[in-house]
Amino acid sequence: MRYFMTEQLRGGQRMRRALLALGAALALAGALGLHGRAPAAEIEQPAYDKGLLWRIEKPGSAPSYLFGTIHVSDKRVTALPDAVRAQLDAARSFTMEVALDAPNVAALAARMIYTDGRTLPQVAGEKLFREVAPLLAALGLPEEVARLFKPWAAMMMIAVPRQQTEDMLDATLQRIAVRQGKPVHYLETVDDQVAAFDGMSESDQVALLAHTVETRHELPEATEKLLQAYLARDLGRIWQLNEDSVRERPELKPLSDVFARRVLYDRNARMFERLQSDLKEGNAFVAVGALHLYGGQGLLALLARDGWLVTSVY
């Protein structure tokens, strides 16, 4: 029975969208008001708050480029600016957060469900499950499958915008790189990304699911605000949109702080370490969610403190 349910989950565009969104949880969290406040120490450090494309260089290595993405298929985003396309075309290699292939989709599906006898109604409560079940049914997931979801997985399925996976910005960049014959590298595995959610306490996962259900009608408007800030290349504005949301819901601060540490800061540190070989080899084009670039614990600040010269290009 569990094998059948996993097979149901692993196919289709919805799972590929969930895989992309898993790597882009910060963009989603910003729309939901959940990325947490910047640590006080960041106030004294460069924020790197303007720009999406950055040149990264050190003596002895050819310059590489770090590009902040937003994981949507909106044509306003996927029509690559000339500056971005030129550096992608000229790059030796392409690096992104996680592979979007069938084995990773299957691996994600297997990690989204309980295999120890528990069920979502038992963990989250029957009342919340009765709100979640019809939302998942609208996505083609029957109740017997929905019952096995972990709370974070149900949240992700509900919150991910409906769009064409193959046209999303990250997939578009990868497709261009593959067509050009570039080697493609990845900064994370599905296990890395799932751990950011699976490692949360169940109470935090349930709170995150309940918040997503409660605020799901706000998501389109909030996502459009994020898109506008992204198109303006204003990372600081994206962050501020979330700050405004947290001020309106102070009860979310503990949850947002946990979310920020696990989904943003811990992953930034891991990405920084795994970027080193590509950057030292030089002429790499690296694409990650835009808010991984921002702030005193963002990738740009980590690289600058490590001696890399960081320059805004676009």
Take residue 245 and report the two structure tokens written for it. Answer: 């949301």
Take residue 17 and report the two structure tokens written for it. Answer: 């969208």
Residues of the chain scoring pLDDT < 50: 1-11, 21, 23-32, 40-43
Q: Which pLDDT does position 108 carry in this prediction?
A: 85
Total domains in the fold of the chain: 1
Q: What does the alpha-carbon distance between residue 111 and residue 198 come to, in Å, rounded to a whole number?
A: 9
Q: Is 62 exposed, middle or buried (0-12, 13-18, 19+ CB in 10 A)?
A: middle
Q: Which pLDDT does position 261 carry in this prediction?
A: 85
Q: What does the alpha-carbon distance between residue 141 and residue 133 come to, in Å, rounded to a whole number?
A: 9
Q: Flag whether the pTM goes above 0.95.
A: no
Q: Which pLDDT does position 245 carry in this prediction?
A: 67
Q: What does the alpha-carbon distance between residue 138 and residue 154 come to, in Å, rounded to a whole number?
A: 13
Q: What does the alpha-carbon distance between residue 54 and residue 287 come to, in Å, rounded to a whole number?
A: 11
Domain containing residue 214:
2-312
Q: Which pLDDT does position 35 carry in this prediction?
A: 53
Q: What does the alpha-carbon distance between residue 36 and residue 255 come to, in Å, rounded to a whole number?
A: 8
Q: Which pLDDT does position 27 carry in this prediction?
A: 44
Q: What does the alpha-carbon distance between residue 139 and residue 155 come to, in Å, rounded to a whole number?
A: 13
Q: Which pLDDT does position 46 carry in this prediction?
A: 65
